[in-house]
Structure 1
């Protein structure tokens, strides 16, 4: 069982992370300050650290987190460290990622993203051998289907070409994993790989996130900070849900792609970078162009080559290898469970399958996971249709979109689109 050390002076955060990680099979240790954290790493077999950037009340500089990171790396150079950061410490977090931190998540963090990172960096050799195509670094790609073999063969050629790539595909199909593969197979693999989820950012902060901002550039900008383009200089920048970028940001992005130049918000000093841009979308950008919400010239700059990731139900040969990967080594899948998984529609794609496997491990009465353990996917022995699944989850979670989306393996944006598609009245359900 992997041991995760959580370092935070907030007992509520420690308790929340302890519960989340424990439910997914991790042993959790905690520390509320730098001294306790260093002692824990020195005296215990810690596999991964999740650390805040500040440990003293009233301190917001991030210097404490930087000092702890430096000491832990000196003590154990290969120890994966995930940073939990507020907006004001974002620049320091980016600096530490360049110095070797595994990744950083902004508060409030996304549970699924955090669990994905923890699993990625605590996986043992046995789990990586399960139907895995190993990468030189980063997370493994799990596939067995002819469709994915063809796609990855194309991706390997594209990766070395150092051109901008647009990855299309439904939510939860694995676009971020494919982007990571492109980076790891590219000539930039030793440099930074910076990810930005455009769908998770308020529109008013997108430009500051990408291009940085000077102190006072907008309300809440209490200090100057670098943007993601600066952090990715020499490496790769992955822009997920690119269709959410507003037109003002699109114009600035187009200029960067054409010239490599931009200015931080509130500054007239030009910065020049060398960045490869990978972008992803689950929407039809051609329709957005017709509607005037996406620039055609930017589309062609981003879409030098397009790689389309098919939905999970179009590559059924990948379902069982993925399920075996998501289920920890102490569990196994019975034949009836495998047949059930193959019969499901998986509207939430790989993300939904992963969540279903996590729930099945909780419901399982022993180490053999059966069809009955996937109870949330069943209804009178039949697979629920998508509308019924959504309605059931909305009722179960009292109409809270965030919780229902997580249970379904969807993003909040994807769930809203399905609610609109099926004309679901949340008020009447809840």
Structure 2
């Protein structure tokens, strides 16, 4: 990978270091994001793809271990094993350097650094990543999951690590990203793969159906209960229970679910006897962690129970290099389904494909390509053969227009305030209600 195409995250509690790193890297890389607080690392890295993290080794009391950098290095490598990490320290401690390299750091540098040396090391790391051509991970799943982008490789890596365990998994991601496919892959790679995989869209269950569907009922428990019926927990016995749209259930339903998960027993409606359950739980939601952390919306104790490990499935707009692979996959699939020869995608077709933002993600791409195969009569597919639903096109245009206007307004406002304060960043940041770091981040965003 070339340096100019790299996205780099810098974490250091010294604001002067952050400013210096930003000024050094701004003109040389695609994007540089800086932050003082290491507690933001997970959210920042879940929100976008970084090729490299530059991480300080000592923070002011955030983790009382004496070597905080090792702690945060382990957190990064646990969730994002493919991302390179360079550790920074003000102390030339050889033992600590060796330990950090053993823990997975890609390099170790001493403060104050030499700019040329740092840039050389970063360039070598990025080149090594490109030339090494690490083996692409493919999930062994009956339902093929396509993806060679870095973000999907991170997902595949995490799936292969956690699938053999009985850890409860929470899958996060927008609608249409393929959360159910990831859940199926987790089941198929687990030691429970020979047992049932049971899916329930709990977000669609009414309050009256929630308990009867999940926990079952005995004959006569209510008016229409004409016979005993197993609930989904009991049906998944020995296997995997997948609860989709878990973020949409009520607080009362959450309390009932929490009780079952804590006791590992269910009591069918109309019965006084509880039944022991042995299931692996996987949940999914299109809500983000911020919404799920709101205790007025979702119980924190239930969140801890279902979220031993979380997997974020990226939106299609963040995995552009996968679009051609997915298109080829779906075109072959639907050509076979409809008994047609596989048409060739022309440059105009691919250009139109890549110009769309896909708010409906992989599901939208799939349906668009099915329509294209149905309508295509020749040996090639041109841009005119590719149509998107009116609803998605309207969403795409309106969102782009809205973002453009908001960003332009913010950019103009920042320039006016900085000009008013004769270039004084501290005064400008205070007037804008931002920290200096936040203002620098916006200056970088708009390349000002």
TM-score, shorter chain, exceeding 0.5:
yes
Aligned position for 1:342: 354
State the aligned residue count.
256
Aligned 8 A contact 2:196 2:239 in 1 = yes
Aligned position for 1:372: 384
Q: 2:234 aligns with which of 230, 251, 259?
A: 230
Aligned 8 A contact 1:133 1:141 in 2 = no
How do residues 7-406 of structure 1 correspond to structure 2 at under 5 angstroms? 136-284=140-288, 286-290=290-294, 292-328=296-332, 329=335, 330-331=341-342, 332-376=344-388, 384-386=393-395
How do residues 409-424 of structure 1 correspond to structure 2 at under 5 angstroms? none
Note the C-alpha offset of 1:288. 4.8
Note the C-alpha offset of 1:384. 3.7
Flag the 1:387–1:266 CA change in 2: closer, same or farther, 3 A: farther
For normalisation by structure 2, the TM-score amounts to 0.53
For normalisation by structure 1, the TM-score amounts to 0.55
For residues 23-70 of structure 1, give each alpha carbon's deviation from its aligned partner in whole angstroms, at most 9, with x where no partner exists.
xxxxxxxxxxxxxxxxxxxxxxxxxxxxxxxxxxxxxxxxxxxxxxxx
Kindly report the root-mean-square deviation, in angstroms, between the aligned alpha carbons of the 2 structures: 2.5
Of structures 1 and 2, the larger Rg is shown by 2
CA distance in 2, matches of 1:203, 1:334: 51
CA distance in 1, matches of 2:389, 2:137: 29
Gaps of 5+ in 2: 1-135, 336-340, 400-448
Gaps of 5+ in 1: 1-131, 391-430
Q: Greater shift after overlay, 216-225 or 345-354?
A: 216-225
Moved over 6 A (4+): none
CA distance in 2, matches of 1:344, 1:273: 46
Aligned 8 A contact 1:278 1:302 in 2 = yes
For residues 58-110 of structure 1, give each alpha carbon's deviation from its aligned partner in whole angstroms, at most 9, with x where no partner exists.
xxxxxxxxxxxxxxxxxxxxxxxxxxxxxxxxxxxxxxxxxxxxxxxxxxxxx
- Per the alignment, in what secondary structure is the counterpart of residue 243 of structure 2? strand
